[in-house]
Structure 1
Amino acid sequence: MDVEGFAGDGYGEVRKVFQRLVDDGLETGAGLSVWREGREVVRLNAGWADAGRSRPWRSDTLVQPYSLSKAFVTLAVLVVVRDGALALDEPIARYWGAYGGQGKERTTLRQVLTHRAGQPRFAPEAAGLDLLDDSGLRESLAQAAPEYVPGTSLGEHALTYGHLVDGILRAGAGTTLGEMFNDVVRPALGLDAWFGVPDQALDRVADLEYANPDWPRQLHAAPWLQIPAGVLDTERANSRAWRQSVFGAVNLHTTATAMAAFFSRLTSEDGPVRELLGPQLHTELLTSQVTDYDEVFGTRITWTLGFVRDKGKIAKGGIGGSAAWWSLRHQHGCAYLTRRLDDHSRAAQIAAALDDDLTVVGED
């Protein structure tokens, strides 16, 4: 498979690494983008967008990057906080009365956004619900007891994050996650990204595939991804119904160029994210909120409101190998999005070619 696109001066090693991933069979369909100083300096595409290998991967190919989606759930709810309809540190139960039982009476939006709300997975009682039963899954979260006292421990809310935020938005602001992202956040930031892919963009979506059949069972995060069944089932993930649904924790569909451009402007004081949220919430978004051992990641990490942060980067990755980040050291935004579900070693090799360290970006 040929690698198409461009890599500017000084980025030849990045292209070599990307080509090697393809040549070694580690990649069957992916996009890579790097932005620096307001322009795209790397845009590379390789492989196929479909399981039948008839559609070449293009720069506008959309793919589901799993938990990278969570960063945009955060932005959607922070817009409502900006407008005063919700507050980060008020109990959720003040808006969503049904949620305020079973030890969740004082759970706050901040605790949800920093993965400390005690609901890192859906409860066993939700096991019979369909993947696309939005109302049933929201109700199950309202009725369930947390796994730990909210605010006392940490574990990425792997599948529950979007449904928690959606429930809060519906109860507290009379809107939905899909509406806030697609009608407000997406156009404000100029993103080629969707919760619920529109009909006219479905032909751009890439099919997901496993690197090996045992991949879903080998994941450290597997225990947190079992309910509802089907999130890692490629037949479900590749269906039109799933692509046009809103499952906020994991099913944003977007391009590498869109994600790298977004991260390249994330921290800018005159950038679109700060303009969207205002100075105070923009600072909150990027500020380290909690550092602890994250059960789902299986390591100690620092969360902001929606991102992972360390001395070198602000980042978010997704199970399966996709990742995007802003390099605090080198001042560039990068995104590596793939349809071949495997670990993050491919993105880590790309990062190393950029002199970045991609340690801890997503659940493996």
Structure 2
Amino acid sequence: MTAVEGFAEDGYDEVRKVFQQLVDDGRETGAGVSVWRDGREVVRLNAGWADAGRRRPWHAGTLVQPYSLSKSFATLAALVAVRDGALELDEPLATYWPAYGVNGKERTTLRQVLTHQAGQPRFPAEAAGLSLLDDAGLRESLERAAPEYVPGTSLGEHALTYGHLIDGALRAGAGTTLGEMFNDVVRPALELDAWFGVPDDDLERVADLEYADPAWPRLLHAAPWLQIPDGVLDVERANSTAWRQSVFGAVNLHTTATAMAAFFARLTADDGPVRALLGPKLHADLLTSQVTDFDEVFGTRITWTLGFVRDHGKIAKGGIGGSAAWWSRKHHHACAYLTRRLDDHSRAAQIAMALGDDLSVVGED
């Protein structure tokens, strides 16, 4: 048996119990859980290993890639440019990025990108031979491609393209990149232990990803949207230094459970750092329901804000593989469950149940 380390204050014993059971059952081999309430961390639990060789124990400072949870922070990078007047939410991207405004994308807006309505939920077939690290090539493939549907008329999470679309808009309209905007502006303003492009000194903290089942990548509902470019779900590539130090804004933020729970705990606060970063209007826009529809990639009805999933019980974001973080609108606490063992979201769902939360997607506010 692997011991769960850390603390759970009075009233949170069930969270520890559920987490220990996940470890004892072998469903978890390396993960962290953090819960924040009333401005402080009331649960910080760690278990398992940070590496495939099981020599580095998982600890509170372990960084891990939570896949699509990364998108919320790409959103913030875009909104800082809106705050500064370099971009506008409802101005066609072609105003700043002329090369993008072709083949049916002439009127596509940043708001449509941020709410997954831009019609480019995957990279086009012509990008199939490109490297994961070919930022320019992948961005240019999106420039040339026609959208899969008329922007604004349908919904599907832009599973891998989200960050490249934001990066293209930032390069063209603000003269910066997604990585620079996040690491130089967003991250320090929010005091986040989170990185797009892990610095050399922090590489030793990064956890290796592993499959719960080698067949897992092929069994995903979202698999058709994750095939180009090849290798996003290949753990050998994901565990490479080159990938960890690159910026692939849709999926490869690296962060800790404590950092994510702390962020969500302060996300909605009128006196919090997100509101201070964006200003009252953009902060309200960030959290307000923007669109509710059937999301083809999720395979369910869903409500998107500009960067999060929202329903009557929570404001949340998860990542393929099992990581998730949320703010409970009902109980006024925040939780993050970050894992290196790629599987479904049932583990995070059980932690949520122990807190009285529900991670199922309701699709309405």
CA–CA distance in structure 2, aligned partners of residues 218 and 15 of structure 1: 30
- What SS does the corresponding residue of 1:13 show, helix, strand or coil? helix
**Segments of 4+ moved more than 2 angstroms:** none
Equivalent residues in 2 for 1:1-12, closer than 5 Å: 1-12=2-13
Instruction: Answer yes or no: is the 8 Å Cα contact 2:311–2:361 preserved in 1.
Output: no
The one-letter code matched in structure 1 to 2:244 is R
The one-letter code matched in structure 2 to 1:31 is G
TM-score between both structures, scaled by the size of structure 2: 0.99
* Residue segments in structure 1 that go unaligned for 5+ positions in a row: none
Residue 153 of structure 1 corresponds to 154
Residue 108 of structure 1 corresponds to 109
Q: Does 1:50 align with 2:51?
A: yes
Equivalent residues in 2 for 1:161-200, closer than 5 Å: 161-200=162-201
Q: Deviations over 1:68-103 (max 9, x none)?
A: 000000000100100111000000000000000000
CA–CA distance in structure 2, aligned partners of residues 36 and 221 of structure 1: 33
Q: By how many angstroms is 1:125 displaced?
A: 0.6
Equivalent residues in 2 for 1:147-296, closer than 5 Å: 147-296=148-297
The one-letter code matched in structure 2 to 1:222 is A
Residue 127 of structure 1 corresponds to 128
CA–CA distance in structure 2, aligned partners of residues 239 and 2 of structure 1: 29
CA–CA distance in structure 1, aligned partners of residues 349 and 219 of structure 2: 19
CA–CA distance in structure 1, aligned partners of residues 236 and 361 of structure 2: 28
CA–CA distance in structure 1, aligned partners of residues 232 and 129 of structure 2: 14
CA–CA distance in structure 2, aligned partners of residues 359 and 222 of structure 1: 20
CA–CA distance in structure 2, aligned partners of residues 125 and 245 of structure 1: 22
Q: Deviations over 1:191-211 (max 9, x none)?
A: 000000000000000000000
Equivalent residues in 2 for 1:324-339, closer than 5 Å: 324-339=325-340
Residue 14 of structure 1 corresponds to 15
The one-letter code matched in structure 1 to 2:289 is S
- What SS does the corresponding residue of 2:334 show, helix, strand or coil? strand
Q: Deviations over 1:123-163 (max 9, x none)?
A: 00100100100000000000000000000000000000000
* Residue segments in structure 2 that go unaligned for 5+ positions in a row: none
Q: Deviations over 1:311-363 (max 9, x none)?
A: 000000000000000000000010000000000000000000000000139xx
- What SS does the corresponding residue of 2:121 show, helix, strand or coil? coil
CA–CA distance in structure 1, aligned partners of residues 101 and 191 of structure 2: 37
Q: By how many angstroms is 1:47 displaced?
A: 0.0
TM-score between both structures, scaled by the size of structure 1: 0.99
Number of aligned residue pairs: 361
Residue 118 of structure 1 corresponds to 119
The one-letter code matched in structure 2 to 1:229 is D
CA–CA distance in structure 2, aligned partners of residues 113 and 290 of structure 1: 11
CA–CA distance in structure 2, aligned partners of residues 357 and 190 of structure 1: 28
The one-letter code matched in structure 1 to 2:266 is R
CA–CA distance in structure 2, aligned partners of residues 256 and 3 of structure 1: 15
- What SS does the corresponding residue of 2:294 show, helix, strand or coil? strand
CA–CA distance in structure 1, aligned partners of residues 41 and 300 of structure 2: 33
